[in-house]
Amino acid sequence: MRIDIISAVPELLSSPFNHSILKRAHQRELLNINVIDLREYGIGQHKQIDDYVYGGGSGMVMMMEPLVNCLKQLQQNIKYDEVIYLTPDGTKLNQKLSNSLSLKSNLLLICGHYKGIDQRFRDQYVSLEISIGDYVLSGGELAAAVLVDSIGRLIPGVLNDETSALTDSFQDNLLAPPVYTRPENFEGLKVPKILLSGHEAKIDEWRYEQSLERTQRLRPDLLQEE
């Protein structure tokens, strides 16, 4: 999979993809992430990428021209399955959406700044708008990093244990069961006996019951979803 990210502050994205699971995905050539500096497509001597809001009001808006020039240059070589704009008024990200995006080949993410991007760009070129939650970040970069992380770990071959992404919370709309590791007894706090029994079917059953109980208690809304 290839993910290109257009950003006005590419430095914000220099670290999140160079560690742990996403680093392995890159090393295994399963995920290729390219961050493109929008400033390189800025206008004039000052490489301008934003301007005042028509109609008045505070804040700046990211301009059409740099975004369109950048997109067109990228599209000369790549056909994107989705052009995604990260924005607080987009569709709220959930596991189902990450699952479906992990099956795509080429994604383009666009990070907004200031008051956001010119509406005409959204109307003309963006195929999907995604929010990572009902709060406002100062730019789309951290949201893009969250999205890439949630997609990247689902690409087959990225996680060592092939089944482990499928047992995460939210797969099947259930929260994950509790997990424990050594020691068996920490200052009187004991690991549930069933997990030490070696009885695989009983352990599976216990984990399912725990998942269901946790979901009912903590996130009953998930059980209403299709």
- Which residues of this chain interact with ligand ADE, rule CB under 6 A? 86-88, 112, 131-133, 135-137, 140, 143
The least CB distance from residue 42 to ligand ADE, in Å, is 21
In 10 A of CB 81, how many CB atoms? 17
Which 3 state secondary structure label does DSSP give 168? coil
Q: Are 17 and 33 in contact (CB under 8 A)?
A: yes
Residue ranges in 42-140 assigned as alpha helix (H): 64-75, 95-101, 119-125
Is the Cβ of residue 7 or residue 215 nearer to ligand ADE in the bound state? Answer: 7
The least CB distance from residue 193 to ligand ADE, in Å, is 43
DSSP 221: H
Nearest of 18, 45, 7, 51 to residue 143 by alpha carbon = 7
The least CB distance from residue 44 to ligand ADE, in Å, is 27
Is the Cβ of residue 86 or residue 174 nearer to ligand ADE in the bound state? Answer: 86
Q: Cβ-count burial of 101 within 10 angstroms (0-12 exposed, 13-18 middle, 19+ buried)?
A: buried
Is the Cβ of residue 146 or residue 174 nearer to ligand ADE in the bound state? Answer: 146
Q: How close are the terminal C-alpha atoms of the chain, in Å?
A: 28
Is the Cβ of residue 149 or residue 172 nearer to ligand ADE in the bound state? Answer: 149
The least CB distance from residue 6 to ligand ADE, in Å, is 13
Is the Cβ of residue 89 or residue 213 nearer to ligand ADE in the bound state? Answer: 89
The least CB distance from residue 98 to ligand ADE, in Å, is 14
Nearest residue to ligand ADE on Cβ basis: 143
d(CA 128, CA 80): 12
Is the Cβ of residue 111 or residue 174 nearer to ligand ADE in the bound state? Answer: 111
Which 3 state secondary structure label does DSSP give 100? helix
d(CA 212, CA 219): 10
Helix (H) or strand (E) holding 188: none
The least CB distance from residue 135 to ligand ADE, in Å, is 6
